[in-house]
Amino acid sequence: MSARADGQPGSDTTSSTVAGIYAEPKVDTHCHVLDPVRFPYGDDSVYRPSGQEVGTSAQLMEMFSAYGVERALLVGPNSGYEQDNRCMLDAIARGEGRLKGIAVVPLDCPIHELERLKAQGVVGVAFNATFHGASYYRDAAGLLAMLERLGMCVSLQVQGDQLVVLGPLLERSGVRILIDHCGRPTVEAGLDQPGFRNLLALARTKRVFVKLSGYVKFARPAFLYEDARPCVDALLDAFTPDGCMWASDWPFLRATQRVDVGPLLKLFERLVPAADDRRRIFWETPCRILDFPP
């Protein structure tokens, strides 16, 4: 409660606003499950998440309940699991239809394995150039063709100008593409940097969609990530709310400072102040693109 001028309790408009955006129905299009007790990390894992980075399916559902997340797209993490998708598939199986997945697979993955994953709720595969490098995916045309044939997508994480290398391959493929974390631009380089220009140009394909998320990975915390605004505005202009989706990136793997879903939602409210635009980004676009019942 806030105090009125006469010192008596009054309405707290800030609390009302916070409750409002938390209650808006959402699809979280990029989050992870990590449960090393039930699903131990591989011995050859390059990075082994621990402590606050661990997030089980039960913890994920509690976060969803707190912030109005009705459905979600789980992305298989390279950290800890790499091509071991069992933890994610277990969460999908327990999710009562609320969860779908993005699997990590080898570039020579056979089509029968993709079909098996699809039958278990996987809608696409992850291409993480920030982990493997852009050149790793130069021979991925065969995998992309199979994904297109099966109606599956690519969830692509790039940073800087990596999209300059990968863009032509992806554009030729015809596959549906989800760009993680605003394309992770270099904010100091402005909107004219080559990778970001390439990303904006992909809007014309109408089969590339952008996750407005991951600000901790490319913006400056000293400004509460407000320096991401020019990039977000440009993405909204190019892709429109019908081509953009929201994501939390929970449980914030490798974050270099404290991150919480609540403040990220308040940031998103400042970046996208119109409730109708937020509904399209939070709900209508991801339900359509990921084939969740509306």
From the list 183, 105, 116, 98, the residue with the least C-alpha distance to 143 is: 105
User: pLDDT per position in the chain (294 positions), as tens?
Assistant: 333 333 443 434 334 444 789 999 999 999 999 999 999 999 988 899 999 999 999 999 999 999 999 999 999 999 999 999 999 999 999 999 999 999 999 999 999 999 999 999 999 999 999 999 999 999 999 999 999 999 999 999 999 999 999 999 999 999 999 999 999 999 999 999 999 999 999 999 999 999 999 999 999 887 789 899 999 999 999 999 999 999 999 999 999 888 999 999 999 999 999 999 999 999 999 999 999 987
Whether 109 and 143 have beta carbons less than 8 Å apart is answered as: yes
Residue 10 covered by a domain:
no
Residue 176 covered by a domain:
yes
Residue 253 covered by a domain:
yes
Residue whose pair of structure tokens reads 């992909």 in the numeric block: 202
Q: What is the pLDDT of residue 293?
A: 85
Whether 157 and 181 have beta carbons less than 8 Å apart is answered as: yes
Residue 11 covered by a domain:
no
Number of domains in the chain: 1
- CATH, residue 218: 3.20.20.140
Domain of 238 in residue numbering reads as 23-289
Residue 14 covered by a domain:
no
Residue 45 covered by a domain:
yes
- CA dist 145 to 92, 110, 154, Å? 25, 12, 11
Per-residue HEC secondary structure of the chain comes to CEECCCCCEECCHHHHHHHHHHHCCEEEEEECCECCCCCCCCCCCCCCCCHHHCECHHHHHHHHHHHCEEEEEEECCCCCCCCCCHHHHHHHHHCCCCEEEEECCCCCCCHHHHHHHHHCCEEEEEEEHHHHCHHHHCCCHHHHHHHHHHCCEEEEECCCCHHHHHHHHHHHHCCEEEEHHHHCCCHHHCCCCHHHHHHHHHHHHCCEEEEECCHHHCCCHHHCCHHHHHHHHHHHHHHCHHHEEECCCCCCCCCCCCCCHHHHHHHHHHHCCCHHHHHHHHHHHHHHHCCCCC
Residue 12 covered by a domain:
no
Residue 8 covered by a domain:
no
Residue 47 CA to residue 49 CA, distance in Å, equals: 6
